[in-house]
Amino acid sequence: MEVPSGKLPDIRHRMVKANGISMHIVEQGEGPTVLLLHGFPEFWYSWRFQIPALAEAGYHVVAPDLRGYGQTDAPKSSQLYTSCHLVGDLVGLLDALEEKRVFVVGHDWGAMVAWDLCLLRPDCVKAVICLSVPFFPRSPKGSSIKGYYETLGEGFYMCRFQKYGRAERDFARIGTTATLSKFLFPPRTSFIAPKDKELMDSIPMPKKLPQWISDADLRYYAQTYEKSGWTGALNLYRAMDKSWEIKAPWTSVGVKTPALFIAGDKDIVMGFPGVKAYVGRNFKSFVPNLKEIVTLKGGHFIQQEQPERVNELLIGFLNEQTLASSSKL
C-alpha cells in the first residue's frame, strides 16, 4: 500500500518493537517529539494534515498505528487491548525512540489512550492535547459500556461492537468503502440501530465526499482496512469492561498534565448523554491544568475538517509548553 501520489513525500515508515508487538510508525521532522494517536475507524494517515505542519514548526512527529490497526500487530484476544496494553505499547515506543518524555496529541480512541498515558504514566508526558474525547475519571458504578447499555440501549454502536463477529459481518455485507463512508462522514445520525436492524442499515450513506477527503484518500483507507480487517480495531471496544476492572486503583483520580481540549460543535461525542454538561461543569476539576476548551465549527474528525485552525492551536500550545519546559531548566 502506497500513500496517495504526491502526499507526504518526506515521511519515513518503520517498524519498531514495543511491548511485545511490532508497531508501525510514521515519522517526520527533528526537534521535541510529538506522538499523534489516531482514532476509529482510522490509522496514522488521519494525521496527514498535521504531520508536515508540526515537522515544519520544529518538532519530531511520530504517528503510530495503534495496536490492532493498520500495519501494527493485532493480537487475537480482545483481552489484550486494555488500557494497560495500549499504554504499555506507548511506553515501549518511547523506549524504542530513546525518549523519556514527549508531547502527546490524541483524537477519539487516541484521545482515550493519551489520557490513560497521562493517568498511568504521567512521567512520560510533557503536555497533552486531546480532540473530541474529554478525560472521564473511572466511575465506581461501572464501565462506560454498562452505562451505554442502560442509557442508549443495545443498538448503540459501541454496544453492538461487543459481540465478536457481528460488526465484522455487518461491515463485510456492505463492503469496506461503504462502511468507512458511513462512519467518516455520515449525515446527522445517532449511531443507534433498532433491534430488528443491523447498524450499517441504520446509518445513511453520504451523497458525496466532504472537501477534507479525496477519492484517493478514501481508497487508501479502504486498502488499509481490507488488509488489516476490522477485528483488531473493534477489540479496543471489546476490552472496555476489562479496562474498567483493572483501573480500579485510579477510581475518581484526575490528570494533572498540562492539557488542551479541542472539539467540533457537531461532534457526535459531545452529543452523548451528559457529555456537554460534564465538559462545561466538571471536566476542569479532574484536569486542573487544562488551559482551554476550544470548540470549532465541525464534526467528529475535526483535525481533518479544520486542519489549518487545528494546526495553529497545536503549534501554539506546543510552543508555549516547550518554552515553559526550557525556562525551568
List Cα–Cα distances, 277 to 93, 274, 292, 321, in angstroms.
35, 5, 16, 28
The Cα 2–Cα 145 span in angstroms is 36
Q: How far apart are CA 240 and CA 15, in angstroms?
A: 27
How would you classify residue 296: left for phi > 0, otherwise alpha for psi between -120 and 50, otherwise beta?
beta
Q: Provide the 3-class DSSP secondary structure of residue 137.
A: coil
Nearest 10 degrees: Cα torsion 238, 81, 258, 37 = -100
107 catalytically annotated: no
Q: Which of 106, 89, 81 is nearest to 23 (CA)?
A: 89
Rounded to whole angstroms, how far apart are CA atoms 169 and 179? 11
As to burial, measured by CB atoms within 10 angstroms (0-12 exposed, 13-18 middle, 19+ buried), residue 319 is: middle
Catalytic residue among 69, 81, 220, 237, which?
Answer: 237
Q: How many degrees, rounded to 5, is the angle at CA 178 between CA 173 and CA 181?
A: 145
Residue in the block written with cell 485510579: 250
Which of 108, 116, 170, 267 is flagged as catalytic? 108
Choosing from 60, 85, 107, 300, which is the catalytic residue? Answer: 300
Does the annotation mark 13 as catalytic? Answer: no
164 noted as active-site residue: no
Contacts for 111 with CB less than 8 Å, ≥ 6 apart: 37, 39, 130, 131, 132, 133, 134
Give CA 135 to chain center in angstroms. Answer: 13
- Residues 221 and 176: their CA atoms lie apart, in Å, by 9
**Closest to 127 (Cα-Cα) out of 53, 68, 59:** 59
Report the catalytic residues.
Answer: 108, 237, 300
